[in-house]
Structure 1
Amino acid sequence: MNPASDLPEYLLRLGDSALIQGQRLCEWCGRAPALEEELALLNVGLDLVGQARNWLDYAAELLADGRDADHLAFRRDERAYRNLLLVEQPNGDFAVTMLKQFFYDAWHLATLEGLVSSSDPRVAGIAAKALKEVTYHLRRSSEWVERLGDGTEESRRRMLQAIPRLWRFTGELVAPHAAETRLHQAGVLAAPAQVADSWQATLHAVFARASLTPPEAPSHFYLDARQGLHSEHLGPLLAQMQALPRAYPDAVW
């Protein structure tokens, strides 16, 4: 493998993660605990779908196999997706959703901060545009983790239940990967260790303000989305997302 062939896979990682997380957030439509929160969740979800489009557009250009961003988003099978395992997990209650969003946002911001200096101008440009949105996303999800963790007895109980439910999926946010190391050596992205350190620093700072204790580092998880090995939750989610495009593949809007 070389950086040229690693880059499309990395772009799929970014685009698929944003797309699936955006889809999960949009599932809160009509179900959020308050109207303001419903609008906020949907706005963040739409931000992520827009970012996914930018990454998948570039991935499609580099793959140059006749597929476009829409095809990559809606016509691939489960094993072809490269999203983080974390984002495909069900929403659960509001505490689970906001903790998952926080874990993802902290990783997302650290990743984008490294990409704005990429030697690839297309990557740098997409990252710079997304960084403005994700800075807000992280601020919002951090505030909710603090409110729920250091709030009422009930909110704290739910947050304490959410942590072990999601923590096992956080290892992939900080685990080094050979392809990312090669892309860093080529100047395309920041050092994976730098992203991991930033994620962990943000986690510890927010958990401290929320009176929460981070668990021990998770052990290696048996699934690996980089190889198309996903949890049981991605398939049903894709079935919903892809029903219309697959039923009417030639439809135009």
Structure 2
Amino acid sequence: MPSLPDAAMPDAAALAQRAAAEQAHDPHLADVALKPAFFDWLCRMGDNSLILGHRISEWCGHGPALEEDIAQANTALDLIGQTQMWLGLAAEVEDAGRSADDLAYLRDAMKFRNLKLLELPNGDLAVTLMRQFLFDAFHFELLTALCRSSSPRVAEIAAKALKEVSYHLERSSDLVVRLGDGTEESHARMQAALDKVWPYTGEMFAADGVDEAVAKAGIAPELSELLPLWQRTVAQVLSEATLSQPDRDFAAQKGGKQGRHTEHLGYILAEMQFLQRAYPGASW
């Protein structure tokens, strides 16, 4: 990786191309039959981190305490950094001349593949933290499995992201326990938050043709394998937090992975994509 002075040099593009060429060969990138599913799956990974990262960034300057404000901002930055890697690889697989920025800023809502859970409004801090915890528990298990991916590029990205997401899960779990087993008001807020977001969590494990194709290729795990691991973590943390797991259908809300979103995603994209759409091709 070039040093900071190197990155500012005119030949930075050449350095980047050379670094990419030195990466491990990935046979999946040349698999024409797999390309549509692989591209769609990579967009799902990137869109999840992008949309959640943007949502969490909305807390910047509005946190209830300075420490929490900074922690939320850092989590958002971690997720946006992961987006750059996932969508960057998606652009390579697509091989249509688009970049990670193009995929982030120039797609319409129906082309986004993120989970509905992640586009829900922040609500109060209880909703934000509960949404974060439930996704972190899934994200951690998914990235752990992806470190064994048959795709060297996917495994490399997963290994980098896992270091950050391990901390995300540790932090969100701790806060869910502290607030759930805290005051009467904090407990009530956390239980209400859990009840609210619970119907959206099942989509994480709802496999479709895309999930099946990348699992068959050895790129990603079977989502059904992750469900008991997620359930174990969630049950343990909720028990410590003295919170009751809802008996409602946890897979009532689905469709985000296929491009069927809530109205909230449109508002996110209107804010996130405004500059690029108003000034096409603009750069710093």
| Pairwise same-fold verdict (TM > 0.5) | yes
Shift in Å, 1:3:
3.7
**Matches of 2:257 and 2:53, distance apart in 1:** 19
Instruction: Please state whether the residue corresponding to 1:169 is helix, strand or coil.
Output: helix
- Aligned match of 2:126: 95
Aligned residues: 253
**Given residue 238 of structure 2, which amino acid in structure 1 is its aligned partner?**
F
Instruction: Call closer, same or farther: CA 1:228–1:115 in 2, change over 3 Å.
Output: same
- Aligned match of 1:40: 71
Instruction: Please state whether the residue corresponding to 2:144 is helix, strand or coil.
Output: helix
**Matches of 1:129 and 1:151, distance apart in 2:** 34
- Is the aligned partner of 1:19 residue 2:14? no
Uncovered stretches (5+) of structure 2, i.e. residues with no partner: 1-31
**Matches of 2:283 and 2:115, distance apart in 1:** 30
TM-score using structure 1 length: 0.96
- Is the aligned partner of 1:216 residue 2:247? yes
Q: What is the percent sequence identity of the aligned residues?
A: 48
Q: CA RMSD of the aligned region, Å?
A: 1.4
**Matches of 1:217 and 1:58, distance apart in 2:** 37
**Matches of 1:209 and 1:222, distance apart in 2:** 27
- Aligned match of 1:60: 91
- Aligned match of 2:259: 228
Shift in Å, 1:249:
1.1
**Matches of 2:248 and 2:153, distance apart in 1:** 34
- Is the aligned partner of 1:147 residue 2:178? yes
Aligned positions of 1:63-142 closer than 5 A: 63-142=94-173
**Matches of 2:247 and 2:34, distance apart in 1:** 33
Q: Check the 8 A contact 1:102/1:138 in 2, yes or no.
A: yes
**Matches of 2:253 and 2:227, distance apart in 1:** 20
TM-score using structure 2 length: 0.86
Q: Check the 8 A contact 2:35/2:94 in 1, yes or no.
A: no
- Is the aligned partner of 1:242 residue 2:276? no
Q: Check the 8 A contact 2:191/2:244 in 1, yes or no.
A: no
Instruction: Call closer, same or farther: CA 1:204–1:5 in 2, change over 3 Å.
Output: same
Instruction: Call closer, same or farther: CA 1:217–1:14 in 2, change over 3 Å.
Output: farther
Shift in Å, 1:221:
3.3
Instruction: Call closer, same or farther: CA 1:139–1:222 in 2, change over 3 Å.
Output: closer
Deviations 1:19-75 (A, max 9, x none): 010001110011100000000000000000000010000001111112110010011
Instruction: Call closer, same or farther: CA 1:120–1:189 in 2, change over 3 Å.
Output: same
Runs of 4+ in 1 over 2 A off after TM superposition: 1-5, 174-179, 219-223
**Given residue 232 of structure 1, which amino acid in structure 2 is its aligned partner?**
E
Instruction: Call closer, same or farther: CA 1:205–1:80 in 2, change over 3 Å.
Output: same
**Matches of 1:198 and 1:22, distance apart in 2:** 24
Shift in Å, 1:181:
2.3
Q: Check the 8 A contact 1:223/1:231 in 2, yes or no.
A: no
Instruction: Call closer, same or farther: CA 1:219–1:203 in 2, change over 3 Å.
Output: closer
Q: Check the 8 A contact 2:187/2:243 in 1, yes or no.
A: no
**Given residue 169 of structure 2, which amino acid in structure 1 is its aligned partner?**
L
Uncovered stretches (5+) of structure 1, i.e. residues with no partner: none
**Given residue 45 of structure 2, which amino acid in structure 1 is its aligned partner?**
L
Instruction: Call closer, same or farther: CA 1:3–1:209 in 2, change over 3 Å.
Output: farther
